[in-house]
Amino acid sequence: MAYPTIDFIFLSEEDMIKAGVKDMPACIDTMEEVIKCLNAGDYVMGGENHNSHGSQVSFPKESPFPNMPLDEGDDRRFMAMPAYIGGPFDMAGMKWYGSNSNNKTKGLPRSILTVMLNDKDTGAPLALMSANILSAMRTGAIPGVGARYLAKKDAVVCGICGPGVMGKTSLAAILSACPGIKEVKVKGRGQKSLDAFVEYAKEKYPEIPVIRAVETVEELVKDTDVISFANSGNTDPSTYPLVKGEWVKPGALIIGVSCFELDARYMADNCKLVVDNTALYEAWAEEFPYPSFGANNIIGSKFTDMIHDGIIKKEDMYDLGDIIQGKRPGRESDEQVIVFSVGGMPVEDVAWGKHCYERALELGLGQSLRLWEKPDLA
């Protein structure tokens, strides 16, 4: 960059698609490198502990101020998620989004996301990009990394709870990591969304002989090798999909992208418990004082509650990075049940954003924007 002039590029959603943002195998490979960086400690996120998920603005239910936005439904918020990630990425950036469940009445997605990449030394912007697809892909790709290392090699049945965007990207990642899948089951709350998911999956994956909707969590879990909970959720564990231990197939991999409930004693006695980044869950345990699970609806927060209660020891919560790096064992038998918690972190957005940014530069995509010719206040 020819300082002091600063130019950066804007990448629309169409540009991002052309740059390969939907390339799931490449995204899984990228997320595996992210997990390695996390395991090495070569990253920084927000907060004094360097592991904050982000800074969130939540709105009140009522306000005396007429223009104040109100919490009109689930997930009404703004959130900034800054990060730096090293390794092969060596990039700083931030994901920013506003979210409102009522957006759907306007033909908009619930969340509208952008990612800004910045030069790590000067802070100068490098790219501003549409990030709804980017975020969805990196969210799905982490379950793909988990399935690559934790699923049985002969897995044939996949279950998806939640027929939305996260369900679709989770399915794409699991099918990429487990090429032997022959049956897909999906559980949702509305028949319309279930029918749409089944139709979508049949069209996109014609090689899968059986793709069908099921009515209950029990049907979803029984005889299923890899299950991804990618449903929407809130802060009330009594509303989470309930999994009973007697339903779980020996050797199953259960992936918690979103919320589900599973008995702590069952997990302690019968499961290997794995998280995508131990430090993130420790930070959440500070942010959401015990009991963390519920205030944070990710199953890994139940793991830290179990450590607090003395049900398991700290070393009983495995880090996926340790498994990838060969420091600790992954799947130890075809009968072992594994529960894998996916927290989601802005380092993932920055990493996949950099991959797409570099590809966009190679292809000449995007619109060049000038921040300034010469800074007036320098």
In single-letter form, the type of residue at position 259 comes to C
Cβ contact 200:175 at 8 Å: no
Q: What is the pLDDT of residue 74?
A: 65
CA distances from 4 to 91, 126, 361 (A): 20, 14, 21
Average pLDDT, integer, range 31-53: 95
- Residue 343 vs residue 378, higher pLDDT: 343
Of 17, 53, 257, the closest CA to residue 132 belongs to 17
pLDDT at 232: 83
Q: Is the pLDDT of residue 146 over 80?
A: yes
Residue-level pLDDT at 73:
65
Q: Where in the chain is the domain with CATH 3.30.1780.10?
A: 6-135+347-372
d(CA 142, CA 85): 16
- Please state the rounded mean pLDDT for residues 175-204: 96
Which distant-in-sequence residues (6+ apart) come within 8 Å of 356 by Cβ? 11, 16, 19, 20, 21, 129, 134
Cα-only R_g, the chain: 21
How much is the pLDDT for 210? 98
Whole-model pTM: value is 0.95
Question: Quick one: pLDDT at residue 325?
Answer: 97
Average the pLDDT over 217-231 and give the result.
Answer: 97
Stated length of the chain:
378
Q: What pLDDT is attached to residue 164?
A: 93
Residue 134 sits at the vertex; the CA angle it makes with 128 and 140, to the nearest 5 degrees, is: 160
pLDDT tens digits along 67-117 = 999 887 667 889 999 999 999 999 999 999 999 888 889 999 989 999 999
% residues pLDDT > 70 (the chain):
99
Q: What is residue 362's predicted lDDT score, i.e. its pLDDT?
A: 98
Question: Is 141-345 a CATH 3.40.50.1970 domain?
Answer: no
**CATH class of residue range 6-135+347-372:** alpha beta
The pLDDT of residue 331 is 97
Beta bridge partners of 81: 95
The pLDDT value recorded for residue 348 is 98
